[in-house]
Amino acid sequence: MSRLTKPLLFASSTECEQAFYDALERAALDAMMAVWAEDEEIVCVHPAGPRHAGYAAVQESWRQIFSGGPRLKVRVSHQVFLHGVMLAIHSVHENISIAGEETLRPPVVATNVYLRGTQGWRMLVHHASPSPVPPELMPESSKTLH
Taking only the tens place, the pLDDT of each residue in 60-89 is 999 999 998 888 899 999 999 999 999 999
Q: Do the domain assignments include residue 127?
A: yes
Q: Do the domain assignments include residue 138?
A: no
The structural domain count of the chain equals 1
Domain range for 111 is: 13-131
* Three-class HEC string of 100-111: CCCCCCCCEEEE
Q: Do the domain assignments include residue 60?
A: yes
Taking only the tens place, the pLDDT of each residue in 130-146 is 988 665 655 554 444 44
Which of residues 126 and 102 earns the better pLDDT score? 126
Q: Do the domain assignments include residue 7?
A: no
From 100, 102, 95, select the one nearest 134 (Cα to Cα): 95
Q: Do the domain assignments include residue 55?
A: yes
d(C-alpha 142, C-alpha 133), whole Å: 11
Residues in the chain: 146
CATH number, domain containing residue 27: 3.10.450.50
- Identify each DSSP E strand in the chain by its residue range: 43-45, 51-53, 72-83, 87-98, 108-117, 120-130
Q: Do the domain assignments include residue 142?
A: no
Mean pLDDT of 117-123: 93
Q: Do the domain assignments include residue 117?
A: yes
* Predicted TM-score (pTM) of this structure: 0.84
Q: Do the domain assignments include residue 109?
A: yes
